[in-house]
A and B are shown apart, each in its own frame.
Chain A
Amino acid sequence: DIQMTQSPSSLSASVGDRVTITCRASQGISNYLAWYQQKPGKVPNLLIRAASTLQSGVPSRFSGSGSGTDFTLTISSLQPEDVATYYCQNYNSARFTFGPGTKVDLK
């Protein structure tokens, strides 16, 4: 089975900082990679699908890249409302495995 890992597990950054989160799949998953944002006490929200396609309504400071096994979520300029835990997910047709999450808070 495909395993998903994320790094770092948590980070603290200042408003305006560029933030990068990495997700790695244990085997190639093409671009079947999604990113979700989950704010404290809230339901997960789909940010990016197909590794780099931004969902409607998601701010353009969010971007995704990668293919195969290595993927990246970037927040170009961190805002206070971006404090959340971010999860990657492999969603090929057979499995929908989530990564362990990366908690982002403000320094």
Chain B
Amino acid sequence: QITLKESGPTLVKPTQTLTLTCTFSGFSLTTSGVGVGWIRQPPGEALEWLALIYWDDDRRYSPSLRSRLTITKDTSKNQVVLTMTNMDPVDTATYYCAQSKYYAFPFDNWGQGTLVTVSS
């Protein structure tokens, strides 16, 4: 059974850096083709893809947020970490991590999401 779970702060202040961790089980990020991505969804709004990291450490970022994002993996811990700098209230959203089971494959397993609020 594949599971993913997001963890991190629920409240961050403007200008701070957000660090979110996705801890997963049921698959390995050392398996060829596998990727883990991050997606966010502001309250009442649409899904927005943020970043994805592949088994081979290939990293992809949303062009509009690339300068603020870093995605890394720790295969020994089955974790993927997303950092987003210079947080703003407009970044308030539910942040999801999700698995892409093959290269160039959509997200077929998702975490439950974690709501991050940006406020002073």
Contact = CB atoms under 8 A, between A and B. Distances in A.
Interface of A: 1, 32, 34, 36, 38, 43-46, 49, 55, 87, 89, 91-101
A101 B46 contact: yes
7 contacts: A34-B106, A34-B107, A91-B105, A95-B63, A96-B37, A99-B46, A101-B47
B96 interface: yes
Contacts of B105: 49, 91
B24 interface: no
B46 A44 contact: no
B110 interface: yes
Contacts of B60: 93-96
Question: Which of B46, B62, B63, B100 neighbours the largest number of chain A CB atoms within 10 Å of its CB?
Answer: B46
A43 B111 CA distance: 8
Contacts, number: 62
Nearest to B37: A96
Interface of B: 37, 39, 46-49, 52, 60, 62-63, 96, 100, 103-108, 110-113
Nearest to B113: A43
Given A87-B47, A96-B52, A100-B46, A44 B110 contact: yes
Q: Give the residue among B46, B47, B48, B110 with the most A Cβ atoms within 10 A.
A: B47
Most buried by B among A1, A91, A97: A91
Given A93-B103, A96-B107, 10 more contacts: A34-B107, A36-B47, A44-B39, A44-B96, A89-B47, A91-B100, A93-B60, A94-B60, A96-B39, A97-B49
